[in-house]
Amino acid sequence: MRQETRASLAGGKLSYDPTLLAVDRLPIKMVNVSFSYKTADSTRNPESILSNMALEFPQGKLVEMRGAAGGGKATVLKLLADAVFPTDPAQETLVFTPPHLRCVQVQENPLVLGPHETILENMTYGIKKSPSIDWAALEERSRIILKRLGMADHIMESFKTPGFLGVNGVCITRADRQLINLGRAFLMNPEMIIMHKPAALLNEKQAKLCLAMMREFVDNRGVLMDPAEPIVMRRKRTLLFTTLIPSVAEVADEIYFISDNMLTKENPDLSTSPV
């Protein structure tokens, strides 16, 4: 069927819409989900973060979670990534992320490899070298993604230099590390990316560049993809992120606000989106 579709595209006609495949129609959802963290004092009741929460959104969306610190935003991300599981689940409790989705998480605290690895090795961590991979093209794509995210020129000059963490005199900040983490996620090109406060460490310019790439990831179903490949032939891309600070840049397709164990959906047209 995919070959037939490519043939029909070559002829200027599309016989069916690949975005309507059954697995692409499966929603990401939570039903009647509660979660509590145990306290250090065993005599006290666990601290409730989420209570009977429900959430549902389709694949192929840029979804923003808002709320105060400690309100449960990160917990929702962990639940959807199967990093934690509901506490006191009822019979009707459900957390469902379609199992075919490859999911990459970007945490608030950036992680990089040891002091002797290069930026390129950090960007491509987890990608196995094989004859089927054009490593030169992958390296160039890594460079472009980092530059587009706002990485400083003096850092880019050490792109393939071992010991970029400071051994060779290059000073790298937490913001630089976060750009590497963000760049790695976009380079991996999974079907789903989950980001907890992705721009919290970035300056205003870098934050806007990050938001633009997040939007591109969803709209183009990947970043720096082959322009010869029609977008409809790519699998949908979903990005879920959290934020504390709103700005005037409107990027999210759907916005949810967590407060007092409750989740409410906001209208993106009447809201501002984050940095």
Cβ 104 vs Cβ 192: under 8 Å: yes
Q: In a structure prediction context, what are the per-residue pLDDT tens digits for the chain, which is 275 residues long?
A: 334 333 333 344 444 455 557 788 899 999 989 888 877 666 667 778 888 888 999 999 999 998 888 888 889 999 998 888 888 777 788 889 998 899 999 988 887 777 678 889 889 988 877 888 888 999 999 999 999 999 999 889 888 888 766 555 456 888 999 999 999 999 999 999 999 999 889 998 999 999 999 999 999 999 999 888 888 888 899 999 998 666 534 689 999 888 877 788 876 554 444 44
Q: Supply the pTM of this predicted model.
A: 0.83
Residue 2 is predicted with a pLDDT of 38
d(CA 45, CA 42): 8
For the chain, give the number of residues: 275
Residue 217 is predicted with a pLDDT of 96
**Residue ranges of domains in the chain, CATH in brackets:** 22-39+48-266 (3.40.50.300)
Residue 53 is predicted with a pLDDT of 87
d(CA 142, CA 159): 10
Crossing angle between the packed helical segments 204-219 and 135-148, to the nearest 10 degrees: 130
User: What residues contact 26, with CB distance under 8 A and at least 6 apart?
Assistant: 59, 96, 98
